[in-house]
Structure 1
């Protein structure tokens, strides 16, 4: 109902740009406050700090002044993120370290809620301010536009992490509204709903959650399938959310970037991160990896490890996420070393064969899937317990739920079908008469009600 109300108001205010922006800003803050009204001030503060810092950076006459305002904005955003997301992790880790050294440590932890979407809207503000500092975009002069950019309700909770140059100009002078765009957006919403309810939620209920909650109760083969199922669950969950976000935005007349490009067709872990959650991975590439030197300054392999540990920590405050980042950073470093010496090893012809491509895709997927044992587990000990059960429970026979296996097979097929098929399905929907679209929508909705295991939040809401 909320999205329908905003869509209707947006359509009525198409020719009144200022009123339209006021409505979208009010709707965005209302939407965020429905989750927790207490953090609306935090959202506004992040917008105000980055808006002011960017203006001052652009006005500063010397490099020291520009850098000072950049440091202020980065300190504010990273301070917010660090306090709410990582304070207890560092307190707990310090306590364990002191206890390991023989000191009595009874450090109090902080009792506080994590503001939903904080990892996303703080990074959006950071990206904008750094872009202004690098002179890659001009500072915005209208605070309302910038506040809307930070709080825009489709993206504020779970991304994609949109760059200022991708969205701000659309607020200042929105793209011409097209009826076809609204239909395309509606198809994206339906596609996202199918991914979430028919695949992600079903996989979670029937395979993933039981296996990870009680790994000792299941045989090794079931646990292996659960690892694979989790990779498709999280893909269908986040890409489904992104589809819905992009669809809602398109119905309002705004274009958001795609966030996934068939990640499980990647032929290397490096390529996987170029396809997976691209708004997040490109953020770390552009603002951290390049910022600390990339391949031009310092040790490129150390830079890669730092970047991937940061990616792991972005996802959660736990040693399991640190190890997850170290694993991925190490493999990406090894792949880089291999590429540098490929010709010397005489492997150039081999890596261009179809057989090698199939092997590379399978090996990459299996590494990504099994490393996600760390990602799915609450802590390092839980990941170890799951791995131990995976290794020891070979003789246990576990029946597979039919609906779970059907969802897994369907998710695999949906991921690997040619892109052209999906595009054709979207085109057929938008060109169909209204009664046909209504029937298709009704079928999806009824199917979602029948298949839905109950209310289930999106996986990335925890980040």
Structure 2
């Protein structure tokens, strides 16, 4: 049940209608819990059992961490179980494939069979959410909840279940303690967030994919160098618009239901360093790795800070997918962040203003785009072939459709506009007379849903 399907909005309206006649917080949470499992099992009914198992194990481990005499044992159990399940579904075949390759290099016959394992959608996201609960309890930063149903709703809350943002227990669980109803302002903001997300996804991200990115990567050997460069830039904007669109819709739905989800992006392509990029990009994920892995390794206070950075960024790369291209993607970003830290300590990297800032932003953006090839390519061979084609295909005629060029230009302009101007335009739209505004919003929403392509799922579903 995709956010771009009519079925989802019928589902959402049915929930909102049912909740409008409910006065009990307990009943509201029960309805949302059932709806969340229905939503998740609409992808595959078998996913529900895995989600329930992840919930029950971590709920019980959380209580044992707080009240037993061996908290470290129960935290270890939570980590081993949760990361073990994630590893089985997401990385086990990658491990078997590499084991088979090593055996072949050694001249040994390999009879290892790749398992046909269906990757549960969103497993990386709800695994990390569940772990934030047990780790925070172990650190004495959170008290365990008494009701399994509350924890189950936190793990499975359908707006952000499939592709985030990654919501921490300390952020969301307090919102479940009392009845939450959306105010008129929150309802307005929720609707506008949903429409903004659909515009990003349907009119920009999917159009960029169809008219620029997919043609560039599908036939890169015959494309011109300039088109391949624009393909990387286009993909950078596609993945940003696609993922931030999901986040906008998730936050909008949550707001309509009376809850808040964290902001996940802050115009990342205006970052002036790679370090700053990761402070702006997928904030809920990057901050999770910072707080739970980087600081857990010792951060800048214990061990070697550069080794800690490299481990953290390789983990970020691997979190995105099981492949050596993702390992290298994380390693390259880790090396760049480590280099920036070293330059900053030497006093050679300082905050820039004016045209120097603009140059720093341009440099950072081109580095991010260049490294995106490993994010988009299926493997290292395709990534290398794409970069080699950029170098070799300078004599190939340059061809770009008007639709692709327009979508890319609009994406750049949308990203560069200050948020306050977008908010002002949204407010003007919402201040239209009700008889004009309501039909206009309904027509726009329906048109976006109908125009959406069923063959263009959100990119981060695969993670």
CA distance in 2, matches of 1:434, 1:457: 33
CA distance in 2, matches of 1:405, 1:77: 44
| Corresponding residue of 1:4 | 13
CA distance in 2, matches of 1:401, 1:288: 44
Q: State the 1:450 CA deviation.
A: 8.1
* Change in CA separation of 1:450 and 1:85 when aligned onto 2, cut-off 3 Å: closer
Q: Give the secondary-structure state (helix, strand or coil) at the position aligned to 1:169.
A: helix
Contact (CA 8 Å) 1:202, 1:451: kept in 2 or not?
no
| Corresponding residue of 2:148 | 143
CA distance in 2, matches of 1:187, 1:453: 21
Matches within 5 A, 1:206-225: 206-225=211-230
After superposition, what is the alpha-carbon deviation per residue over 1:237-284, rounded to whole angstroms, capped at 9, x for unaligned?
Answer: 000010000000001110111000010011100000010000111111
Q: State the 1:287 CA deviation.
A: 0.6
| Corresponding residue of 1:96 | 101
* Change in CA separation of 1:176 and 1:3 when aligned onto 2, cut-off 3 Å: closer
CA distance in 2, matches of 1:262, 1:297: 32
Matching of residue 127 in structure 1 with residue 132 in structure 2: yes
TM-score under structure 2 length normalisation: 0.95
* Change in CA separation of 1:91 and 1:154 when aligned onto 2, cut-off 3 Å: same
| Matching residue within 55, 71, 76 for 2:63 | 55
Q: State the 1:396 CA deviation.
A: 0.7
Q: State the 1:428 CA deviation.
A: 2.4
| Corresponding residue of 1:46 | 54
Unaligned residue ranges in structure 2 (runs of 5+)? 1-9
Matches within 5 A, 1:174-189: 174-189=179-194
| Corresponding residue of 1:235 | 240
| Corresponding residue of 2:331 | 326
Matches within 5 A, 1:9-88: 9-13=18-22, 15-61=23-69, 65-88=70-93
Q: State the 1:173 CA deviation.
A: 1.3
Q: State the 1:115 CA deviation.
A: 0.5
Q: Give the secondary-structure state (helix, strand or coil) at the position aligned to 1:352.
A: coil
Name the Cα RMSD after superposition: 1.5
Matching of residue 267 in structure 1 with residue 272 in structure 2: yes
Matching of residue 429 in structure 1 with residue 434 in structure 2: no
CA distance in 2, matches of 1:298, 1:434: 61
| Matching residue within 236, 249, 255 for 2:254 | 249
CA distance in 2, matches of 1:227, 1:443: 34
Q: Give the secondary-structure state (helix, strand or coil) at the position aligned to 2:65.
A: helix
Q: Give the secondary-structure state (helix, strand or coil) at the position aligned to 2:407.
A: helix
CA distance in 2, matches of 1:271, 1:3: 36
* Change in CA separation of 1:130 and 1:250 when aligned onto 2, cut-off 3 Å: same
| Corresponding residue of 1:396 | 396
Q: Give the secondary-structure state (helix, strand or coil) at the position aligned to 2:32.
A: helix
Q: State the 1:103 CA deviation.
A: 2.2
| Corresponding residue of 1:376 | 376
Q: Give the secondary-structure state (helix, strand or coil) at the position aligned to 1:294.
A: coil
CA distance in 2, matches of 1:225, 1:381: 20
**Mean Cα deviation higher: 370-379 or 386-395:** 386-395
After superposition, what is the alpha-carbon deviation per residue over 1:124-149, rounded to whole angstroms, capped at 9, x for unaligned?
Answer: 00111101110111111111000000
Q: Give the secondary-structure state (helix, strand or coil) at the position aligned to 1:110.
A: coil
Matches within 5 A, 1:441-452: 441-442=441-442, 444-445=444-445, 448=448, 452=452
| Corresponding residue of 1:353 | 353
CA distance in 2, matches of 1:437, 1:188: 16
| Corresponding residue of 2:6 | none
Q: State the 1:51 CA deviation.
A: 0.7
Contact (CA 8 Å) 1:121, 1:150: kept in 2 or not?
yes
- Misfit runs of 4+, over 4 Å: 449-454
Q: State the 1:80 CA deviation.
A: 0.6
Alignment size in residue pairs: 454
* Change in CA separation of 1:403 and 1:446 when aligned onto 2, cut-off 3 Å: farther
Q: State the 1:56 CA deviation.
A: 0.9
| Corresponding residue of 2:166 | 161
CA distance in 2, matches of 1:400, 1:235: 21
Unaligned residue ranges in structure 1 (runs of 5+)? none
Contact (CA 8 Å) 1:207, 1:229: kept in 2 or not?
yes
Q: Give the secondary-structure state (helix, strand or coil) at the position aligned to 1:296.
A: coil
Q: State the 1:305 CA deviation.
A: 0.6
TM-score under structure 1 length normalisation: 0.95
| Corresponding residue of 2:177 | 172
| Matching residue within 186, 205, 211 for 2:210 | 205
CA distance in 2, matches of 1:271, 1:168: 29
After superposition, what is the alpha-carbon deviation per residue over 1:413-458, rounded to whole angstroms, capped at 9, x for unaligned?
Answer: 0000111101212322333332332244245346636864554100
